Amino acid sequence: MHDGSFPGLVPGLCTARLALTEDGRLGVTLDGRVVPARFCVAGSVADAGAEAVVARLEEGPVVLGILRPARETEVVIDGNRLTLEATREIVLRCGQASLTLSADGSVTVLGTRILSRAGGVNRLQGASVHLN
Protein backbone atom coordinates (compact mmCIF):
# COMPACT_ATOMS: atom_id res chain seq x y z
CA MET A 1 0.00 0.00 0.00
CA HIS A 2 1.29 3.47 -0.89
CA ASP A 3 1.80 5.57 2.27
CA GLY A 4 2.10 8.92 0.49
CA SER A 5 5.88 9.14 0.67
CA PHE A 6 8.41 8.91 -2.12
CA PRO A 7 11.21 6.87 -0.46
CA GLY A 8 14.58 7.20 -2.12
CA LEU A 9 13.31 9.73 -4.66
CA VAL A 10 13.04 13.08 -2.90
CA PRO A 11 13.63 13.22 0.86
CA GLY A 12 10.88 15.13 2.67
CA LEU A 13 8.47 15.03 -0.28
CA CYS A 14 5.13 13.27 0.19
CA THR A 15 1.45 13.38 -0.69
CA ALA A 16 -1.15 14.39 1.88
CA ARG A 17 -4.85 15.24 2.04
CA LEU A 18 -5.84 18.88 2.35
CA ALA A 19 -8.13 19.56 5.31
CA LEU A 20 -9.43 22.46 7.38
CA THR A 21 -7.56 23.38 10.55
CA GLU A 22 -9.42 24.16 13.79
CA ASP A 23 -9.47 27.88 12.87
CA GLY A 24 -11.00 27.15 9.44
CA ARG A 25 -7.87 27.56 7.32
CA LEU A 26 -6.67 25.12 4.71
CA GLY A 27 -3.95 22.80 5.99
CA VAL A 28 -2.69 19.26 5.44
CA THR A 29 -3.19 15.95 7.20
CA LEU A 30 0.17 14.59 8.31
CA ASP A 31 0.76 11.74 10.76
CA GLY A 32 -2.99 11.55 11.45
CA ARG A 33 -3.51 15.20 12.39
CA VAL A 34 -4.36 18.39 10.52
CA VAL A 35 -1.58 20.99 10.60
CA PRO A 36 -1.33 24.49 9.08
CA ALA A 37 0.65 24.71 5.84
CA ARG A 38 2.12 27.25 3.49
CA PHE A 39 1.16 27.11 -0.19
CA CYS A 40 3.15 27.60 -3.40
CA VAL A 41 -0.09 27.27 -5.36
CA ALA A 42 -3.52 28.81 -4.92
CA GLY A 43 -5.68 26.75 -2.60
CA SER A 44 -9.07 27.41 -1.06
CA VAL A 45 -11.32 25.74 1.49
CA ALA A 46 -13.12 24.16 -1.49
CA ASP A 47 -9.94 22.07 -2.01
CA ALA A 48 -10.37 20.31 1.36
CA GLY A 49 -10.17 16.57 0.75
CA ALA A 50 -7.98 16.87 -2.35
CA GLU A 51 -4.60 15.16 -2.50
CA ALA A 52 -1.53 17.42 -2.62
CA VAL A 53 2.24 17.13 -3.04
CA VAL A 54 3.84 18.41 0.16
CA ALA A 55 7.41 19.23 1.16
CA ARG A 56 7.97 18.45 4.84
CA LEU A 57 10.34 21.19 5.98
CA GLU A 58 11.61 22.00 9.48
CA GLU A 59 9.54 25.23 9.39
CA GLY A 60 6.41 23.24 8.57
CA PRO A 61 4.75 21.72 5.52
CA VAL A 62 4.66 23.52 2.17
CA VAL A 63 2.05 22.52 -0.43
CA LEU A 64 3.80 22.40 -3.81
CA GLY A 65 0.79 21.39 -5.87
CA ILE A 66 -2.71 20.01 -5.74
CA LEU A 67 -3.24 16.76 -7.62
CA ARG A 68 -6.25 16.82 -9.91
CA PRO A 69 -7.62 14.13 -12.19
CA ALA A 70 -6.66 14.49 -15.85
CA ARG A 71 -9.59 16.08 -17.67
CA GLU A 72 -10.49 18.92 -19.94
CA THR A 73 -10.78 22.34 -18.37
CA GLU A 74 -14.32 23.12 -17.42
CA VAL A 75 -16.10 26.13 -15.99
CA VAL A 76 -19.04 25.73 -13.65
CA ILE A 77 -21.66 28.46 -13.95
CA ASP A 78 -24.27 29.00 -11.26
CA GLY A 79 -26.69 30.74 -13.62
CA ASN A 80 -26.17 34.17 -12.05
CA ARG A 81 -22.55 35.13 -12.52
CA LEU A 82 -19.34 33.80 -14.04
CA THR A 83 -16.07 35.07 -12.61
CA LEU A 84 -12.72 34.26 -14.20
CA GLU A 85 -9.68 35.55 -12.34
CA ALA A 86 -6.01 35.70 -13.21
CA THR A 87 -3.09 37.57 -11.71
CA ARG A 88 -1.64 38.85 -15.01
CA GLU A 89 -3.97 38.52 -17.97
CA ILE A 90 -7.13 36.89 -19.35
CA VAL A 91 -7.42 36.38 -23.11
CA LEU A 92 -10.57 35.25 -24.93
CA ARG A 93 -9.75 34.32 -28.52
CA CYS A 94 -11.72 32.94 -31.44
CA GLY A 95 -10.16 33.06 -34.92
CA GLN A 96 -9.06 36.64 -35.66
CA ALA A 97 -11.01 38.15 -32.73
CA SER A 98 -9.72 38.57 -29.19
CA LEU A 99 -10.51 40.32 -25.93
CA THR A 100 -7.62 40.83 -23.50
CA LEU A 101 -7.98 41.98 -19.88
CA SER A 102 -4.69 42.97 -18.22
CA ALA A 103 -3.80 43.43 -14.56
CA ASP A 104 -2.90 47.09 -15.21
CA GLY A 105 -6.57 47.76 -16.06
CA SER A 106 -6.23 47.87 -19.83
CA VAL A 107 -8.80 46.16 -22.05
CA THR A 108 -7.89 45.38 -25.65
CA VAL A 109 -10.52 44.37 -28.22
CA LEU A 110 -9.18 43.20 -31.58
CA GLY A 111 -11.12 42.01 -34.60
CA THR A 112 -11.56 42.42 -38.34
CA ARG A 113 -14.98 44.01 -37.69
CA ILE A 114 -16.30 45.31 -34.35
CA LEU A 115 -19.96 46.09 -33.75
CA SER A 116 -21.26 47.91 -30.70
CA ARG A 117 -25.05 48.04 -30.51
CA ALA A 118 -27.32 49.13 -27.67
CA GLY A 119 -31.07 49.33 -27.20
CA GLY A 120 -30.49 52.27 -24.87
CA VAL A 121 -27.60 54.67 -24.40
CA ASN A 122 -24.28 53.55 -25.89
CA ARG A 123 -21.82 55.68 -23.95
CA LEU A 124 -18.12 56.08 -24.75
CA GLN A 125 -16.35 57.67 -21.81
CA GLY A 126 -12.72 58.20 -20.83
CA ALA A 127 -10.18 60.76 -19.70
CA SER A 128 -9.71 61.37 -23.42
CA VAL A 129 -11.43 59.75 -26.38
CA HIS A 130 -9.61 59.43 -29.69
CA LEU A 131 -11.55 58.55 -32.84
CA ASN A 132 -9.44 57.57 -35.85
Number of domains in the chain: 1
**Segments forming the whole domain that contains residue 25:** 13-66
DSSP string, 100-126: EEETTS-EEEE-SS-----SS------
Q: Tens digits of per-residue pLDDT, 78-122?
A: 777 777 777 788 889 999 999 999 989 999 999 999 999 999 999
Q: Is residue 131 part of a domain?
A: no
CA nearest 126: which of 97, 103, 102, 106?
Answer: 106
Q: Is residue 29 part of a domain?
A: yes
Q: Is residue 36 part of a domain?
A: yes
Give the CATH number, domain containing residue 35. Answer: 2.40.50
Q: Is residue 122 part of a domain?
A: no
Largest Cα separation within the chain, whole Å, is: 68
State how far the Cα of 44 lies from the Cα of 9, in Å rounded to an integer: 29
Average pLDDT over residues 6-12: 63
The model's confidence at residue 7, banded by pLDDT at 50, 70 and 90, is low
Q: Is residue 58 part of a domain?
A: yes
Q: Tens digits of per-residue pLDDT, 31-63?
A: 899 999 999 988 888 889 999 999 999 899 999
